[in-house]
Structure 1
Amino acid sequence: MRIGILGPLQVRDTAGRPVEVGGRRLRALLVRLAIDAGRPVSAARLLDDLWDGDPPGGNALQALVSRLRGAAGRDVVEHGPGGYRLGVDPGEVDAVQFERAVAAARRGGDPARRATTCAAPSTCGA
């Protein structure tokens, strides 16, 4: 699965087909998890972020996670002791690819080489 959060949200399955993630809050959950790709995000943090500091009672977060799993696949969200985590390799998130490309370009030394590194579609997630 590939997730694009730089610009409009784009989700593609492993075959490259678009995956529809409907609903503002559902998309917000996916983007929030993608921002911390590879790291768990606590339920308290998600509740605060997704409901602007005024989370509903009950199991609203669990219901939202269930809906996201239904839309994007069972393995898209993992749950563990630290909270919820995007169940996708961090390198499949365009923002992570971009951060890695920028870091590699900074190590490049020569400005022309650095520009080439950042302009390459394979390193910048295009």
Structure 2
Amino acid sequence: MQFGILGPLEVRSAGGEPIAVGGPRPRALLALLLLEAGRTVGVDRLIDGQYGEDPPAGAANAVQAQISRLRRNLPADLIEFHGAGYRLAVSPEDVDAHRFERLAREGRRLLAAGQHAGAAATLTEALDL
């Protein structure tokens, strides 16, 4: 699967087909998990990301319901529960923002090493994301 968060949230199957992930709240929740791809994100952080400093009563239950909606639209084992949080079981390379950061770092490294053609190609690849 491939995930795009550098523009509007996009989810694509391995074959490139778009996958709908639901309304604004589940999409925002998925974006929060994608920012930390492969790492557990605490429920408190997810609540804060969804509702800010003044969450409604039952916000934890609302997050749990949104996770359930996401699980219905995504492969079942993609979102894992770990203790007090959730983990999106994807590689950072599956997320365009993380690929961009890696390519930008590599491009800067190549530029500093005087490898201008390689730097230009790598940085162009990053910008094309």
Give TM-score, length-normalised by structure 2. Answer: 0.86
Kept in 2: contact 1:20–1:71 (CA 8 A): yes
The aligned amino acid for 2:107 is A
The aligned amino acid for 1:68 is L
Counterpart residue number, 1:16: 16
- Counterpart among 72, 75, 79 of residue 73 in structure 1: 75
Kept in 2: contact 1:98–1:125 (CA 8 A): no
Counterpart residue number, 1:85: 87
Q: Give the root-mean-square deviation of aligned CA atoms.
A: 1.8
Counterpart residue number, 1:119: 124
Structure 1 pair 119/82, CA: closer, same or farther in 2 (3 Å)?
farther
Give TM-score, length-normalised by structure 1. Answer: 0.88
- Following the alignment from structure 2 to structure 1, what is the Cα–Cα distance between the partners of residues 77 and 127? 25
Greater per-residue helix proportion: 2
Cα displacement (A) at 1:20 = 0.6
Cα displacement (A) at 1:125 = 7.0
Cα displacement (A) at 1:73 = 2.3
Kept in 1: contact 2:34–2:88 (CA 8 A): yes
- Counterpart among 61, 64, 70 of residue 66 in structure 2: 64
Unaligned runs of 5+ in 1: none
- Counterpart among 90, 103, 106 of residue 104 in structure 1: 106
Deviation by residue 1:59-102 (Cα, 9 ceiling, x = unmatched): 11111100111122212311113621112121100001001101
Structure 1 pair 82/25, CA: closer, same or farther in 2 (3 Å)?
same
- Number of residue pairs aligned between Structure 1 and Structure 2: 124
Cα displacement (A) at 1:106 = 1.6
Kept in 1: contact 2:22–2:69 (CA 8 A): no
Unaligned runs of 5+ in 2: none
- Following the alignment from structure 2 to structure 1, what is the Cα–Cα distance between the partners of residues 54 and 77? 28
